[in-house]
Amino acid sequence: MSYTIQLTNGNTLTELIDGTINQTATDLTLIGKNATGYGLYVNDNFIHLLENFANTSQPNNPIIGQLWFDTTQNRLKVYNGSQFVVSGGTLISSTVPSSLTTGDLWIDSANGQLYFNDGVENILAGPIYSSAQGQSGFIVDSIIDTNKLAHTVTYLYNGGNLLGIFASESFTPASAIGGFTGSISIGFNVSSLTGVEFNVPVLTANNLLGQDGVTLYSASSFVTTSGNSTISAGTLTVQNSAVNPALILGPGSNSEINVSPVLFQIQSNSSNQNFQISTLNGNGLNSALYVNAQNNFVGIFTGSPQHTLDVAGTINSSGAISTGTGLTTPTLSVTTTGNAPASATSTGTKGQIVWDANYIYVCTATNTWRRAALSSW
pLDDT tens, 347-367? 988 888 888 888 999 999 999
Provide the percentage of residues in the chain whose pLDDT is more than 70: 92
Euclidean distance between CA atoms 171 and 134, whole angstroms: 29
- All structural domains of the chain with their residue ranges: 3-51, 137-190, 247-311, 316-377
Mean pLDDT value of segment 276-298:
92
Residue 334 has pLDDT above 70, yes or no: no
Q: Which of 31-35, 82-86, 235-239 comes out lowest in average pLDDT? A: 235-239
Q: Which residues, in sequence order, are CB contacts of 275 under 8 Å at separation 6+?
A: 266, 268, 289, 290, 291, 293
How many C-beta atoms surround the C-beta of residue 290 within 10 A? 20
Higher pLDDT residue, 210 or 126? 126
Residue 313 has pLDDT above 90, yes or no: no
Sheet of 284-292, strands arranged across: 275-281, 284-292, 297-300, 309-311
Mean pLDDT value of segment 365-370:
93
Residue 218 has pLDDT above 90, yes or no: no
The DSSP output letter for 61 is S
Residue 247 and residue 256 in contact, taking contact as beta carbons nearer than 8 Å? yes
Q: Which residues, in sequence order, are CB contacts of 81 under 8 Å at separation 6+?
A: 64
Residue 116 and residue 123 in contact, taking contact as beta carbons nearer than 8 Å? yes
How many C-beta atoms surround the C-beta of residue 294 within 10 A? 9
Please give the pLDDT value at position 325.
Answer: 58
Residue 350 and residue 329 in contact, taking contact as beta carbons nearer than 8 Å? yes
Q: pLDDT band for position 214 (50/70/90)?
A: low
Residue 353 and residue 364 in contact, taking contact as beta carbons nearer than 8 Å? no
Q: What are phi and psi of 158, to 5 degrees?
A: -150, 120
**Residue-wise over 179-206: b if at least 16 C-beta within 10 A, else e?**
bbeeebeeeebbbeeeeeeeeeeeeeee
What average pLDDT is seen over the chain?
Answer: 87
The helix/strand/coil state of 50 is helix
CA neighbor of 201 nearest in space, from 220, 235, 225: 225
pLDDT tens-digit series, residues 109-118: 999 999 998 9
Residue 327 has pLDDT above 60, yes or no: no
Please report which helix (H) or strand (E) contains residue 43, including its range.
helix 38-51
Residue 22 has pLDDT above 60, yes or no: yes
**Residue-wise over 224-244: b if at least 16 C-beta within 10 A, else e?**
eeeeeeeeeeeeeeeeeeeee
Please give the pLDDT value at position 243.
Answer: 75
Q: 340 exposed, middle or buried (CB, 10 Å; 0-12, 13-18, 19+)? A: middle
Please give the pLDDT value at position 206.
Answer: 73
Q: What are phi and psi of 38, to 5 degrees?
A: -65, -25
Please give the pLDDT value at position 370.
Answer: 95
Sheet of 90-93, strands arranged across: 90-93, 105-108, 113-117, 122-126
242: left (phi over 0), alpha (psi -120 to 50) or beta: alpha
Q: pLDDT band for position 295 (50/70/90)?
A: very high
Radius of gyration of the chain (CA): 52
- The C-alpha angle 171, 175, 181, rounded to 5 degrees, equals 70
Euclidean distance between CA atoms 279 and 338, whole angstroms: 34
Please give the pLDDT value at position 39.
Answer: 92
Residue 219 has pLDDT above 70, yes or no: no
Residue 143 and residue 173 in contact, taking contact as beta carbons nearer than 8 Å? yes
Residue 8 CA to its chain's centroid (Å): 67
